[in-house]
């Protein structure tokens, strides 16, 4: 039996050093011929930025419960915040709206 999995990874830089940082990953599917992506799994990660204001966030491999069909597209969208002297937390400005490249598995 084949088990399909997906993983998300982003590297943040140019943030203030040693700040509490949260990144939320939304794993999304657009069925072959579908008009839009829909979220099928969400993962939140929290840590502290390093001394240089950088940190890599990486999810575990997340199982795709329903096997992909030919032509299905997958991606993740990342959003996040960091705490600074300001309140509420500051949003992180991700390039390309935090959207990863689309991938099409080959079932």
Residue ranges per structural domain of the chain: 4-98
List pLDDT tens digits, range 30-39: 999 999 999 9
Do 24 and 80 contact (CB within 8 A), yes or no?
Answer: yes
Residue 95 backbone dihedrals phi, psi, to 5 degrees: -65, 155
Q: Is the pTM here over 0.75, yes or no?
A: yes
The structure tokens listed for 18 are 């040693």
- Residue for token pair 């997340």: 62
Q: Which of 24, 19, 69 is nearest to 49 (CA)?
A: 19
Do 25 and 59 contact (CB within 8 A), yes or no?
Answer: yes
- The correct answer on CATH 3.40.50.1240 for the domain covering 4-98 is no
Q: What is the average pLDDT across 84-94?
A: 80
């Amino acid at each position: 039996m084949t088990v399909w999995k997906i993983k998300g990874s982003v590297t943040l830089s140019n943030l203030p050093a040693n700040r509490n940082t949260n990144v939320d990953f939304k794993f999304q599917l657009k069925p072959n011929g579908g008009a839009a992506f829909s979220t099928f799994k969400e993962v939140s990660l929290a840590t502290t930025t390093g001394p240089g204001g950088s940190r890599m966030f990486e999810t575990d491999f997340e199982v795709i419960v329903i096997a992909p069909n030919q032509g299905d597209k997958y991606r993740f969208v990342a959003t996040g915040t960091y705490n600074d002297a300001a309140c509420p937390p500051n949003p992180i400005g991700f390039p390309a709206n935090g959207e990863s490249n689309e991938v099409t598995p080959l079932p």
